[in-house]
Copies of this chain bind each other. A is one copy, B any other.
Amino acid sequence: MLAITFLGTGTSVGVPVILCGCPVCRSSDPRDQRYRSSIYVDTGDAAWVVDTGAEFRVQAIRAQLRRVDAVLYTHSHADHVMGFDDLRRFSVGNGDCMPVYAARETLSELQRIFYYAFSGEARFPGYVHPEARTINGPFQLGNTEIVPVRLEHGRAHVIGFVFRQESRPMVAYLSDCKRVFEPDLGLLDGVETLVLGTPCFKALPTHMSLAEGLAFAEFVRPRATWLTHLSHDFLHAEVEQELPANVRLAYDGLRLDLR
Contact = CB atoms under 8 A, between A and B. Distances in A.
Contacts of A55: 54-55, 57-58
A82 B86 CA distance: 11
A86 B58 CA distance: 16
A93 interface: yes
Interface in A48-94: 54-58, 60-61, 65-66, 78-79, 82-83, 85-86, 88-90, 93
A245 interface: no
A114 B82 CA distance: 11
A78 B83 CA distance: 9
Contact of A18 (B13, B82, B90, B113): B90
Contacts of A66: 19
A83 B86 contact: no
A14 B14 CA distance: 20
Contacts of A88: 13
Interface string A168-200: 000000000000000000000000000000000
Nearest to A14: B57
Contacts of A17: 89
A133 interface: no
A179 B93 CA distance: 33
Contact of A112 (B16, B82, B112): B112
B112 A18 contact: no
Nearest to A20: B89
Contact of A54 (B65, B85, B116): B85
A83 B85 contact: no
A57 B90 contact: no
11 contacts: A12-B85, A13-B88, A14-B57, A19-B66, A19-B89, A19-B90, A20-B89, A54-B56, A54-B85, A55-B57, A82-B83
